[in-house]
Amino acid sequence: MSKEIQIYNTLTRQKEVFNPILENHVGMYVCGPTVYGDPHLGHARPGITFDVVFRYLKHSGYKVRYVRNITDAGHLENDADEGEQVIVKKARLEQLEPMEIVQLYTLSYHKAMADLNCLPPSIEPTVTGHIIEQIEMVKQILKNGFAYQVNGTVYLDVNKYNEKYSYGTLSGRNLEDTLEGTRTLDGQSEKKSPVDFAIWIKANPEHIMRWPSPWGEGFPGWHIECSAMSKKYLGETFDIHGGGMDLVFPHHEAEIAQSNASNGCDPANYWMHNNMITVDGKKMGKSLGNFINLEEFFTGSHDKLERAYAPMTIRFFILQAHYRSTVDFSNEALQAAEKGFTKLMNAMETLGQISASENSTYDVNALQKKCYTAMNDDFNTPILIAHLFDGVRIINSVKDGKESLNAADLEQLKTIFNTFITDILGFISHKESSRNDLTNEVMELVLQLRGNAKKSKDFDTADLIRDELDKVGIQIKDEREGSSWEVK
């Protein structure tokens, strides 16, 4: 087990050695989607980021309980405790029952995550599945004196909280900054201070997602869900809390306040945040026309896209950047990523075909060390991928007879590639996803027929095969060891 993983902790603004609370075990909570629309890039990035964290921690020998919630109630249209619950609004627009919306988009989220080869989390709790736990937590916060009730809505009293704890540590804002940045909206007058936020919200008569509570019928405030569910499945304080950087304030700041106000302790020791995504240099937004959902990427069905991009191209592109850097999507960048990915996966196939020599001209041990060092350094996937490309160079050189590897080193290189590419980065070859075993088997026959045609100087047939395959996007590569094929 690697004990040297360093994690950049948003809370302390520095990299820290990762020490779990319970030896060999990790509890990780990541904020999941609000299921009222198709999954898009903003879902893909945290999905993939924390999938790699999950995979690497497991590879490092930890038993990981990875909890990612599904927000199926409570999330309002804006952060100021106003507007409609987004799922209720979507249900009204589509004339469906809210839970039909939830079902539709939970399924499409699951499908997109599976396409991207993200492992399912250990538990996927829902807001509606934990109303009681949220009510219990609101009761506790009231009891501890950090909240007040007005007309059936319960607010967390941020000023009161700030007397004992410190509000704003995660986002680095002090209370005055926060106050200045908070719009004073009509209808907020029942709050003692504009910085206070709702932890239980009274349901208006027309509201259909509602539950009985000690304060009348209502629904949970958006932030309380994660506090209640992480506590239930990971305990009052757990190891890692993850999410997108846009959630630092107010969502995660509110979670910290709720946990302290209810349990008297911080919820998580390490806070990890993935950075944001832009499209052609601009923030994604429905009004900007650059809001592309994942299915549109996979099928190429969006004006901005020159063609379809496979899920693995998206995954490679996202992991080519460090999770704390911004990422800009463009056709050029995706096509470059696709080429890089193909080169990497082709080398992995070549690795299965090259033979060992007496001596090695390359230090495989050093490569392995570098790969672990990269991952231990705050999951630095771009550096890891750069090292793997050094491996690609060697593989191709060995194939060309310019370098050599002995049997043990060749085995070790295979282990490195399998471990880091398949297990940790979670890449599947285009071949595995775009062609099944039957295609492989039929293509073997086609390559054999082409070899026979060439041997008997039947060049018409050989050309016919090349041209017809070219039409369907298959390229044949003739090498010293024989012919192989790939999907272009």
**Given 422, 461, 483, 484, the residue binding a copy of itself (CB under 8 A):** 461
> Which of 5/31 has CB closer to a copy of itself?
31
Rounded Cα distance between 213 and 284, Å, is 38
The yes or no reply on residue 407 touching a copy of itself (CB under 8 A) is no
310 belongs to the binding site for a copy of itself (CB under 8 A): no
Counting contacts by CB under 8 A, is residue 19 touching a copy of itself? no
Distance of closest approach, residue 379 Cβ to a copy of itself, in angstroms: 24
Q: Residue 242, SS3?
A: strand
129 sits near a copy of itself (criterion: CB under 8 A): yes
Q: CB nearer to a copy of itself: give 97 or 190.
A: 97
Handedness of CA 44, 48, 50, 54 (dihedral sign): positive
Q: How many CB atoms lie within 10 A of CB 123?
A: 15
Please classify residue 432 by burial: count the beta carbons closer than 10 Å to its beta carbon, then call 0-12 exposed, 13-18 middle and 19+ buried: middle
Q: Are 66 and 60 in contact (CB under 8 A)?
A: no
Q: Which is nearer to a copy of itself, 363 or 470 (CB)?
A: 470
Token pair recorded at residue 264 = 């008297």
Residue 100 in contact with a copy of itself, rule: CB under 8 A: yes
Nearest to residue 219, comparing CAs of 318, 311, 105, 84? 84
Strand-pairing partners, residue 68, are 30
DSSP state of 15: E
List the structure tokens of 100: 């039909």
How open is the CA angle 426-430-434, to the nearest 5 degrees? 120
The stretches of 169-241 forming alpha helices (DSSP H) are: 175-181, 224-234
3-state helix, strand, coil in the chain (%, to 5): 50, 15, 35
**Site for a copy of itself (CB under 8 A): which residue of 452, 477, 478, 488?**
452
Binding range to a copy of itself, per CB under 8 A, among 150-158, 191-199, 248-256, 430-438 = 430-438
Of 19 and 436, the one with the shorter C-beta distance to a copy of itself is 436
Q: Which of 16, 136, 295, 486 binds a copy of itself (CB under 8 A)?
A: 136
The pairing of beta strand 327-329 with beta strand 277-279 = parallel
Which of residues 448, 479, 481, 482 is near a copy of itself by CB under 8 A? Answer: 448
Beta-bridge partners for 65: 27
CA distance 342 to 139: 55
- Residue among 99 and 383 whose Cβ is closer to a copy of itself: 99
Given the rule CB under 8 A, which of 186-194, 284-292, 396-404, 442-450 is the region that contacts a copy of itself?
442-450
User: Judged by CB under 8 A, which of 148, 211, 298, 389 binds a copy of itself?
Assistant: 211
Binding mask 215-254 for a copy of itself (x = CB under 8 A): ------------------x---------------------
Residues contributing to the site for a copy of itself (CB under 8 A):
65, 97, 99-100, 102-103, 107, 110, 120-126, 128-132, 136, 211-212, 233, 434-436, 438-439, 441-443, 445-446, 448-449, 452, 461, 464-465, 468-469, 472-474, 487
